[in-house]
Structure 1
Amino acid sequence: MFKHDLLQRYLPQFGAMTGKQSHDQRVVYLDGYAGEGRYENGDPASGEIALRVASHLRSRTGLTLECFFSEQQQKSFQRLDDIVQQYRGRGVRAHAHRGEVDGVLDQVVESAAREPLFLFLDPCGLVLPQDRLVDVLARKRPYKRPATELLMNFSMMAVWRLGGHVRSPHGNERSLQRFDDVCGGTWWREHFADAVTARDKDSAAADAIEAVAEGYALRLAEHTGMLVQSVPVSHSPRKRAVYRLVFATRSPYGLWVFGDTVARARATWWETLEEREDDALFSVTSLTRPDPKAVEREAVPHIADNLAALLARLRRPVRLVDYPLEVFGDYYGQVTEPAARSAVRLLHEQGRTPSDGVGVKRTREIMVHPGRATA
């Protein structure tokens, strides 16, 4: 639910942000592990979500979102293809490929040679080898324009299972080598090797999983030259992540919009869980979900301090959207962009900037000037 809500919020914005970079008003999208496209209960899965976005963009803005879908399993592919054909009949440009995503990836990249490209990779297990991703992102798509972005599911549960192979004397070397390819080397094994000698092995293994996820994102950023942000997703704020969404872009603007979208999708996800528990004696979600207003109240002074530190370091005016990670800090993906406007106002009230954001329609476009305290 979280991933799909995030996708249906962000994909139209990607089209709006990058459509002008296209020479023929076309943006290319690939869902590399598309599944059936629609659930048996009739709800849209990732495939139909993208097709709906494409239909909406075509009718409302004239922008073509050309969709490519890849699915290996025959039964799932057949259902997916049926849905694709329905939308093709409505004028949506869409293609379904039977097989592994690696078999269609080059074709999609070639199709998007002069167009913005968005890659959505949501496997049930392991994703493509990192060398393959680097080949696409750093060698075939090395430029800022036309834009290239990636949203990928990095499964923490898969890392947990593979870490067990490292710790076991009977571990499956073939599985380990497969994950070596995904991670771009054997570096990840060292984290689990250390867990073998730890006093609390379960806690050490859990820490190793987090370290591997962080290391993966850092290496992807290093090898592609992209801005990479890894967002943890868990069943509750007090539990470890089940998976991480790895987002890669070359645009601070995209990074800003993605963080805002993550926060909004997270709020919707919690609300959906609460609705499902309405008939229960009490809501487990209400006991574990942080109050969004309380989180924002807590975040605003921290964001204000982040801004003050940024102004002091740069000694010049800054536009918020150019520094999403520096502005939001630990609250990136936790609060929506209005929190940044509140932080600017707080900074102004404290006399630390002459800027108050008044009159600027979009928060992300606010210019913040150094004050005496930060100059």
Structure 2
Amino acid sequence: MSTGTNGSYWQGKALPSVFKHELLRRYIPPFGGMTSRQSQDKRVVYLDGYAGEGRYESGEPGSAEIALRVASYYRSRGLKLSCFFVEEQAKSFERLLEVLQTYRARGVDARAHRGEVDGVLDDVVLRARGVPLFLFLDPCGLCLPMERLVDVLARRRPGTRPATELLMNFSMMAVRRLGGHVSSPKGNEKSLERFDAVCGGRWWREYFSGAASEQDAAEAVAAEYARRLEQQTGMSVQSVPVAADSHVKPVYHLVFATHSPYGLWVFGDAVARARDEWWKTLELREDDALFSAASLKRPDPATVEKEAVPAMARNLETLLLRTRRPVKLVDHTLEVFGTYYGQVTEPAARKAVKLLHSQGKTPSTGVGEKRTRELIVRPAA
């Protein structure tokens, strides 16, 4: 269902790609580290369903090469990342093969398929039987139908072990474009029906019927899509908008789905770090065609954390008062971070515990565990 890329796409990495590629770079390694023990041969399967050329003409790695680099790193440490890449366009596929060959020569398990991801998905799922699976779906247009995703995530890969996770591009530009077809007498019904399949029904059309704001309608569709995916798969789903600031329309949402509280925790930390890197890049590209830098005002990470820590301490206090028993931070990720999920990195959670301790509201000091997520916080006597 991808609409393809124009001739200039692979000349250099555009701003929207900076965020998701940084996120991939930060999340894939810990995913493998956390889940590889679920496989007897310490193997993890990775599928990039819209791989493109693998590398930009500028030499920067695309999503495929990012995964290949991780696979090479894994191999040197006794772990195996089996990579599957799918690309439909002939020219892009040829260049992708060139990139893959370099890593195959180093012993990386990498395979490519020319065609649509739907045609190879069943085979990849079969090859991932008994081992963790990570799906990265980044189309330029519409993604797979909801029913197809639910079939893989909930029916063919049910439960928490072996791990199954999804990171998917939900195009807001496509949502806004198709939303304009709903009330137009010249609307393309076939295009609307394709999006019906993506959303798992016609429900999304209601948001654009007489909507006061196209942007509000599009954001409501994205939120409801994530909610329905969560409901139908039984997974925790987070939808992350990617935009320059609150005054710019998101280009897409990154939809992440996991069964694991550890995945939810690490993903939030990776989002915060990727967001910071994205802002740095954005400031250097004031002439980028998608975003106007004239109104840029990058949030200062230190200021955001300073605001977040007391808010997170209050969240923890509320959690302890409700449960009246010790809680491990990783088991309550969204409750602890609250609205700051994906905005601040995990050290903020340790600082929140220490703040709560200084206020006499917990005997837990916030020290004693190497990883913040493993901290156990106890209620005050």
Residue among 133, 136, 146 paired with 2:162: 146
Shift of 1:38: 0.5
User: Aligned residue for 2:364?
Assistant: 355
Shift of 1:272: 2.1
Shift of 1:235: 1.7
Counterpart Cα distance in 1 of 2:230 and 2:55: 33
User: Aligned residue for 1:62?
Assistant: 78
User: Aligned residue for 2:350?
Assistant: 341
Asked if structure 2 preserves the Cα contact closer than 8 Å seen for 1:68 and 1:108, the reply is yes
User: Aligned residue for 2:216?
Assistant: 207
1:259-292 Cα deviation digits (max 9, x unpaired): 00000011111122234459xxxx9489411111
User: Aligned residue for 2:186?
Assistant: 170
Which amino acid is the alignment partner of residue 181 of structure 2?
H
**Structure 1 stretch 349-358 or stretch 219-228: which is displaced more?**
349-358
User: Aligned residue for 1:255?
Assistant: 264
1:31-57 Cα deviation digits (max 9, x unpaired): 000000001111110011100110011
Which amino acid is the alignment partner of residue 338 of structure 1?
P
User: Aligned residue for 1:134?
Assistant: 150
User: Aligned residue for 1:44?
Assistant: 61
User: Aligned residue for 2:43?
Assistant: 26
**Regions of 4+ moved over 3 Å:** 275-278, 283-287
Seq. identity, % = 70
Which amino acid is the alignment partner of residue 12 of structure 1?
P
Instruction: Assess, with a 3 A threshold, how the Cα gap between structure 1 residues 322 and 337 changes in structure 2: closer, same or farther.
Output: same
User: Aligned residue for 2:31?
Assistant: 14
Which amino acid is the alignment partner of residue 122 of structure 2?
D
Shift of 1:362: 1.1
Asked if structure 1 preserves the Cα contact closer than 8 Å seen for 2:244 and 2:296, the reply is no
Residue among 20, 35, 39 paired with 1:3: 20
Which amino acid is the alignment partner of residue 74 of structure 1?
A
Which amino acid is the alignment partner of residue 336 of structure 1?
T
Counterpart Cα distance in 2 of 1:284 and 1:3: 20
Aligned residue for 1:194, secondary structure, equals: coil
Counterpart Cα distance in 2 of 1:287 and 1:183: 33
1:303-358 Cα deviation digits (max 9, x unpaired): 11111111111111100011111110110000000111111111111111111112
User: Aligned residue for 1:201?
Assistant: none
Shift of 1:181: 0.2
Counterpart Cα distance in 2 of 1:157 and 1:192: 14
Aligned residue for 1:67, secondary structure, equals: strand
Residue among 102, 113, 118 paired with 1:102: 118
Runs of at least 5 residues in structure 1 that lack an aligned partner in the other structure: 199-203
Runs of at least 5 residues in structure 2 that lack an aligned partner in the other structure: 1-17
Asked if structure 1 preserves the Cα contact closer than 8 Å seen for 2:245 and 2:296, the reply is no
When the two chains are superposed, the root-mean-square deviation of aligned CA atoms in Å is 1.4
User: Aligned residue for 2:235?
Assistant: 226
Which amino acid is the alignment partner of residue 125 of structure 1?
G
Aligned residue for 1:40, secondary structure, equals: coil
Asked if structure 2 preserves the Cα contact closer than 8 Å seen for 1:28 and 1:116, the reply is yes
Counterpart Cα distance in 2 of 1:236 and 1:211: 18
Instruction: Assess, with a 3 A threshold, how the Cα gap between structure 1 residues 302 and 285 changes in structure 2: closer, same or farther.
Output: farther
1:67-115 Cα deviation digits (max 9, x unpaired): 0000000000111011112211110000000000001000100000010
Counterpart Cα distance in 2 of 1:129 and 1:358: 46
